[in-house]
Amino acid sequence: MNPFQTLRFAFGGLAANKVRSVLTMLGVLIGVAAVILLLAVGNGSSAAVKASISSLGANALIVTSGTGNSAASTATSTEPLSVADAKALSDTTLAPDIKGIAPEVSTSGTAVHDGISHSVSSVIGTYPAYFEATNSKIAQGGYFTDDDVLNDRKVAVIGSTTATDLFGTVSPVGKTITIGSTPFTVVGELATKGSTGLTSADDVVVAPLTTIQNGFTGFGPLNQIVVEATSSSRITAVTQEISTILMNQHGITSASAADFQISSATSLLSTQASTTRTFTVLLGAVAAISLLVGGIGITNIMLVTVTERTREIGIRKAIGAPKGVILGQFLAEAILLSMLGAGLGVLVALFGTHFTIDGIKPVVMPSSVYGAFGVAVAIGLFFGSYPANRAASLRPIEALRHE
């Protein structure tokens, strides 16, 4: 029997029990679709977080207070970051690789305009250097200036989400919003930066540092200091300069006793990549279990098929069909079931990736498509080999006596 005849017999066998064949393929379909879709969601989540971190600014470093519960730290106390620390970092003699400094305090609040209220995720007080350091482009209007900071002016630049919720399609520039009891004149609207699905960089109000300190947070410690390096190649040098200056400011003599942390987009991306890789492998492992269950379903159905067709096998062997032909026929049926199920699973998964899942746009990994399809076919071959071998090993006389 040539391969074409083997395939024809295999198709005929599957067509004889259409419902059973479809239900068996459904198990493989679900397994393949789950593997591709879940890996696509993991990949999409990674891409969204990566884009969000990159939007912070490739040259930006974030200085925060505390040790982050580092086991290697010998710090016995933590001195909060202050405006004096930020001013020390702006000394170009001690820090020639630092381009800009933006001390930052933040709070939250409800912005109101013309009877419309919007709960703002972040109300940030900072210097104008914040915008360049965090890669915050202006969509309309302009930024506030150093003169606004010095004179404690009540002006603000708002994010695109805040602008849409308060003003709709009308330009917010020149309008007044009120946060608490403080009125702010909107001088600019930021371009959309996107969201990670957990936080939004567009739901923000940015105002002069002195204005926010005076009206909301008080003149206490800073939440963080945003530092802009002269170039991405100077990140390491800037990290060293920040460490040296802040250790001197805080009276610290050992680097292990530092009571502050420095992070950059590069370090955040590295951490994010490691976390996402673990998350994606976990998703793939969970989905692979359903693919395994589909393979077990193939074994079950093929065993039933062999039992039902025992007399047919006996007749074929009695008229001279060799063992290899019987083996090839049932193996072909098992592989066809897995191939058709896997192919439909790929189509379902590709269709599913057109939808946004919980704010995350799935991004298909080509390797997951080829891998899931190949593994499904291999599973069909593996799980179909036992029933096929059982059929091929039947003795003609016993098969013909089977009721």
Alpha helices for 309-358 (secondary structure H): 310-318, 323-352
107 in helix, strand or coil?
A: strand
- Beta carbons of 105 and 199 less than 8 angstroms apart: no
pLDDT value for 210: 93
* Average pLDDT estimate for 19-38: 86
pLDDT value for 403: 59
Spatial separation of the C-alpha atoms in residues 192 and 173, rounded to whole Å: 16
Q: Residue 17: is it exposed, middle or buried by C-beta count within 10 angstroms (0-12/13-18/19+)?
A: middle
Burial 368-400, CB ≥16 within 10 A → b, else e: bbebbbebbbebbbebbbebbebbbebebeebe
Tokens 């008080």: give the residue. 218
pLDDT value for 72: 66
pLDDT value for 42: 81
Helix-helix angle 265-308:323-352, to 10 degrees: 140
**Do the bridges between strand 182-190 and strand 155-158 make them parallel or antiparallel, or are there none, so unpaired?**
parallel
The pLDDT mean for the chain works out to 84
Q: What is the CA radius of gyration of the chain?
A: 33
Give the contacts of 2 (CB within 8 A, at least 6 positions apart).
none
Amino acid, single-letter form, for residue 36: I
258 in helix, strand or coil?
A: coil
* Average pLDDT estimate for 340-363: 86
Q: Which of 100, 87, 90 is closest to 133 using CA atoms?
A: 100
User: 22 pLDDT exceeds 80?
Assistant: yes
pLDDT value for 280: 74
Q: Which of 205, 137, 135 is closest to 176 using CA atoms?
A: 205
pLDDT value for 197: 47
95-152: pLDDT as tens digits: 898 888 999 999 988 999 988 999 998 999 999 999 988 888 899 999 999 999 999 9
Question: What is the dihedral sign for C-alpha 304, 305, 306, 311?
Answer: positive
To the nearest whole percent, how much of the chain has pLDDT over 70? 91
Give the lowest-confidence range in 106-115, 272-281, 373-382, 387-396. 272-281
Q: Which of 380, 388, 381, 393 is closest to 328 using CA atoms?
A: 388
* Average pLDDT estimate for 32-56: 78
187-222: pLDDT as tens digits: 999 998 765 545 577 889 999 999 999 988 888 899
Question: C-alpha distances in angstroms, 207 versus 4, 106, 174, 189?
Answer: 75, 10, 14, 12
